[in-house]
Amino acid sequence: PTMPASMRKFGGQMGGALPASVKKQIAKAIGAPLSVLGYITNRAVFDDKNARAALKGTGIKCPEFREYAKHLWSYWEQFLDIHYEPSAELIAKVKGKVILVTGASSGIGFTTAKNLAIAGARVILVARTESNLIETQEIISRAGGESYVYPCDLIDMKAIDAMAAKVLRDFGHVDILINNAGRSIRRAVMESFDRFHDFERTMELNYYGAVRLIMALLPTMTARKNGHIINISSIGVLANAARFSAYVASKAALDAFTRCLSAEVKGSNIRTTVIYMPLVRTPMIAPTKIYSYVPTWSPDDAADTVIKAILDEPKSIATTLGTAAAVSYAIWPKVNDYILSKGFQLFPSSTAARGSKDKDSKADKPTLEQVVFANVFKGEHW
């Protein structure tokens, strides 16, 4: 569609009529030059008439662009958007270091592993599916990084022991361990009476698997009197996210383990960091369709936070909302419960959690009230 001439001229006219200082302030506030306001009603039109003509008579129909746009974006992020400019500080910190990243074939783990490898680290890629890790390794190689594939099912304790032993034989030690692999389940306790296995499997991967790997690598770190363990936790641990009791409990267990371990290994110059990640747009949250409409971090945001942990070596990293949630629960627990209860009521369970086979996507689209609530509490799991 053709945009009205008045709208096309709007940005330029507005920009020309205002003092430079005012234009600068407005541009800073909206995060973009004033000239973009003239394109505020622009619509992109995707014409698939040639594809439809080619497919005529085959029974194959072209999907709506909104149905496959996310797949195009995912492909862009994973295979084409591989450029990264590491800081001089990061290069100095990780060049030649052996860094092991679990869950390295997608999401946070993939982006973190790629960026660290580009910065000069020797990155060990760990995940369950070898073919996905090989794909990740090829991408990292194209970006100029060095990485190594070590497939492992991180709920199999013996497999973890074998993988860790092979890593130590091949490299002698691990400088930085990033426990990123995780499993999330969004289901209320009242909907979980016949699903105790949800609690078992989240604990197996998120807690037992991470602890087993730490214990396999810790003796070498202790002997060398050097090492850094970074555990990816969740904002839900600080905010007590409803519907995530299985997931949050497993992450809270790892959090408590890390805090206890930290004091024990301090004398051996081993640092620990827990990162309370907010909601990140990764394959892990993809099944919850309503998350397509709420604010989330990108894998790049999350990877930057992991890199900050490597550079600064803090005890923990949390968002402002996560910290506020923890403080509010300590000081005003009933207020905290009230807010979370409102969110629990406002955001419905998935059709699968309710035991329904109805896949009507309309139920997954948020109301204005849900959008406002999600934006006020950015990054929280609902």
Q: Residues 6 or more apart from 377 whose CB is under 8 A from it?
A: 321, 339, 343
Q: CB-hemisphere CA count at 13 Å for 6?
A: 0
Q: Is 293 exposed, middle or buried (0-12, 13-18, 19+ CB in 10 A)?
A: middle
Residue tagged active-site, from 247, 291, 329, 338: 247
Question: What is the C-alpha separation between 373 and 294, in angstroms, rounded?
Answer: 9
Task: Return d(Cα 210, Cα 170) in angstroms, integer.
Answer: 21
The owner of tokens 């699968």 is: 352
The rounded distance, in Å, linking the Cα atoms of 198 and 265 is 32
The encoded tokens of residue 17 equal: 């009529």
Q: Is residue 128 within 8 Å of residue 153, measured between CB atoms?
A: yes
Amino acid in position 315: K
Q: How far is CA 267 from CA 224, 226, 262, in A?
A: 12, 10, 9
What's the helix, strand, coil split of the chain in %, to 5?
60, 10, 30
To the query of whether residue 68 is one of the catalytic residues in this protein, the response is: no
Could you give the residue numbers annotated as active site?
247
